[in-house]
């Protein structure tokens, strides 16, 4: 197999930046990306033959680890019948039934092919339902790369220093009100300044795209009350957190019922997928029942549905959430202990299988406090870990992910590597 170096050289001649998603490029941590030839459990194997303990987990979907035999078998069985039909198929009905059973707030659901499609479509649906144009989002929350939402975004846009993308008309941006996360006064002021104009509020209830950030106690409840009082819909973007932090996502943990929910990642078992769902009266506005148009050639693709069904059924069998939380606490405790010995300020927000390391003395509760993290120090930490066989998100501003496959030797080795890397700084 060609080396990562030669593959990257070839890719740069044909693919912008040599990558098909910007955060893979290692621009914020320095160096060149490796190429993966295979993955199993908690381990990636690179084109160069290196084995790496993986805390990216394909950016969230691999909650059972890579190449799980049950999911692989489900894909193989579906493949026997074809790759795509262009008609309804039995798998998408079963997936809809599972999603509705996991998420009580979702009465009807529409499948699509990516998280970006899910959030874009949910926004359009909210505008169609309320007959209003403006939306509220929060700085650092990333909801995919559609025009209305790639404004003060997180994820790769933040990592590469371009939180506002070129190519978005100013007229689009004017319809998006961007607020600081965890600021109830700012939210109330925005509704006051735009009476009867806000169609919806969309947010990651636990942020994962500017690093992992938790809401203040009572904050999400305030958002729910404010939207209801002002006739706006509340959209939870649980593309990352859905099924990962709890069976019913953050809304289960926080006991909040949003009007619409966006999903993805885990429901595809590693294949491209997205979904959005919510109250029946809202969802019935979608074509063919209503005037809000949304469509997709590969929506409800049988291979993705089969993989996702296997993954969701496995979640109900193994009930992993307490175990994943213990793994997260173990890693964060090891990092904190090493930072204390070294005299390095470190924040480690964590819930379940998602967490981040911020090299800052400032408690992280929004985008501006996340940006106080020392990204240069993180870059050195990243490469110290990578050199010793542990792969982290290649950005100081992304959440880390755990899987059930990290239990045992992988987590113990990772704690050793994180401890050594912090002490080397």
User: Is 265 designated active site?
Assistant: yes
Q: Which of 233, 216, 211, 213 minimizes the C-alpha distance to 224? A: 233
Q: Which of 108, 219, 237, 391 is catalytic?
A: 237
Q: At what angle do helices 375-387 and 409-423 cross, to 10 degrees?
A: 130
Contacts of residue 95, defined as CB under 8 A and 6 or more positions apart, other chains included, come to 111, 267, 275, 300, 305, 308, 309, 312
Structure tokens at 101: 């059973």
Give the residue carrying structure tokens 């080396």: 3
Q: Report the C-alpha gap between 297 and 238 in whole angstroms.
A: 23
Catalytic residue among 142, 219, 321, 391: 142
Closest CA relative to residue 80, chosen from 64, 88, 91: 91
Q: Is 188 a catalytic residue?
A: no
Burial class of 417 by CB neighbour count within 10 A (0 to 12, 13 to 18, 19+): buried
Of 108, 259, 265, 321, catalytic: 265
* Secondary structure of 52-68 in HEC code, one letter for each residue: EEECCHHHCCCCCCECC
Catalytic residues: 142, 237, 265
């Amino acid at each position: 197999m060609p080396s990562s170096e030669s593959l990257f050289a070839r890719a740069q001649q044909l693919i912008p930046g040599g990558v098909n998603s910007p955060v893979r490029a290692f621009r914020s941590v320095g160096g060149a990306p490796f190429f993966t030839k295979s993955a199993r459990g908690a381990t990636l194997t690179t084109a160069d033959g290196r084995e790496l303990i993986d805390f990216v987990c394909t950016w969230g979907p691999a909650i059972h680890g890579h190449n799980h035999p049950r999911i692989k078998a489900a894909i193989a069985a579906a493949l026997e019948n074809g790759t795509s039909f262009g008609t309804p198929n039995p798998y998408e009905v079963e997936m809809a039934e599972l999603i509705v059973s996991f998420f009580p707030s979702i009465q009807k659901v529409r499948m699509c092919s990516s998280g970006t499609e899910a959030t874009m479509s949910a926004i359009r649906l909210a505008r169609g339902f309320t007959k209003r144009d403006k939306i509220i989002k929060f700085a650092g929350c990333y909801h995919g790369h559609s025009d209305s939402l790639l404004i003060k975004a997180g994820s790769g846009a933040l990592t590469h220093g371009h939180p506002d993308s070129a190519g978005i008309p100013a007229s689009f941006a004017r319809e998006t009100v961007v607020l600081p996360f965890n600021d109830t006064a700012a939210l109330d002021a925005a509704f006051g300044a735009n009476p009867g104009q806000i169609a919806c509020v969309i947010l990651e209830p636990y942020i994962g795209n500017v690093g992992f950030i938790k809401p203040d106690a009572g904050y999400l409840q305030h958002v729910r009350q404010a939207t209801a009082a002002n006739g706006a819909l509340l959209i939870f973007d649980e593309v990352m957190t859905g099924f990962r932090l709890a069976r019913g996502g953050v809304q289960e943990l926080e006991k909040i019922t949003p009007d619409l929910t966006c999903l993805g990642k885990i429901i595809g078992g590693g294949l491209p997928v997205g979904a959005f769902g919510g109250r029946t009266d809202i969802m019935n506005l979608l074509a063919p029942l209503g005037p809000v148009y949304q469509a997709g050639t590969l929506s409800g693709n049988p291979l993705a549905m089969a993989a996702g069904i296997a993954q969701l059924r496995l979640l109900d069998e193994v009930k992993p959430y307490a175990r994943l939380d213990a793994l997260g606490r173990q890693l964060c405790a090891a990092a904190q202990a090493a930072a204390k010995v070294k005299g390095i300020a470190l924040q480690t927000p964590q819930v379940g299988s998602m967490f981040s390391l911020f090299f800052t003395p400032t408690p992280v509760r929004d985008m501006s406090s996340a940006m106080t993290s020392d990204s240069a120090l993180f870059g050195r930490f990243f490469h110290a870990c990578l050199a010793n066989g542990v792969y982290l998100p290649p950005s100081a501003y992304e959440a880390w992910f755990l899987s059930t496959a990290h239990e045992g030797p992988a987590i113990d080795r990772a704690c050793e590597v994180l401890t050594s890397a912090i002490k080397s700084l």
